[in-house]
Amino acid sequence: MKGILRRRSYEGETVDVARRLLGTILAHATPEGIASGRIVETEAYLFQADPASHAYKGKTARNAAMFGPAGRAYIYFIYGMHYCFNVVTGAEGVGEAVLIRALEPLDGIPLMERRRGIHNLRKLCNGPAKLVDALGITRAQNGVSLLRGPLTIRAGSSDAHDIVVSHRVGVGAAHTLPLRFCIKGSKFLSAAENRVNRVLGS
């Protein structure tokens, strides 16, 4: 597959990586077929000065993947029933990552609809746990490299898009930090993002 992001793309400042990932394509090839989507919402999780990050309190068995080399997946289980997908960024051992919060469905839409059990395009991937479900990602992918398949991120079209920066949602700590990025005007942002837009009046 062409255009797959290389490790260098993930090794910079986590905040920069979070911005650059907007508009790129997350794809997962499985025996059932390929499912992919354009990343429209991301969230940066830093190591230092970020109490909301899983890495804040140090390395544990759960967040070990976060401390691995850049360009790997960090997938964790939350609220007893959901998984969330992150991309490990920065230098190895630092413990930073970018949470992928929402996708605009592209390939394999019928497959994703079947996995999610709904037929509403806008709701197919508009949340961290939803896109994991739609792409068929499981905890088995925790720690795998995104530099080669079956799970990859590749460069998107070079369409210019405005980026909206806002504070985080759904986290108890440090929710005021401006670490969340999304593509302005996208119809596929997470429900939480829409809530923030209302609060911010934008």
Partner DNA sequence: GACCAGATTGTCT
Partner DNA sequence: GACAATCTGGTCA
Which residues contact DNA (rule: CB under 7 A)? 43, 45, 52-55, 57, 60-63, 66, 74, 76-82, 84, 86, 97, 99, 116, 118, 123, 127-130, 169-173, 190-192, 194-195, 198
Residue 138 or 157: the one with the smaller Cβ distance to DNA is: 138
CB of 85 to DNA, least distance (A): 8
Residue 106 or 129: the one with the smaller Cβ distance to DNA is: 129
Q: How many CA atoms lie within 13 A of 46 on its CB side?
A: 17
C-beta of residue 44 within 8 angstroms of C-beta of residue 52: no
Residue 82 or 161: the one with the smaller Cβ distance to DNA is: 82
Whether a cis peptide bond, with omega within 30° of 0, leads into 110 is no
CB of 185 to DNA, least distance (A): 16
φ, ψ for residue 60 (rounded to 5)?
Answer: -130, 175
C-beta of residue 101 within 8 angstroms of C-beta of residue 43: yes
Residue 3 or 58: the one with the smaller Cβ distance to DNA is: 58
140, with CB counted inside 10 A (0-12, 13-18, 19+), is exposed
CB of 51 to DNA, least distance (A): 9
CB of 3 to DNA, least distance (A): 25
User: With b meaning 16 or more CB within 10 Å and e meaning fewer, what string describes 54-86?
Assistant: bbbeeeeeebebbbbbbbbbbbbeeeeeebbbb
CB of 118 to DNA, least distance (A): 7
Residue 1 or 122: the one with the smaller Cβ distance to DNA is: 122
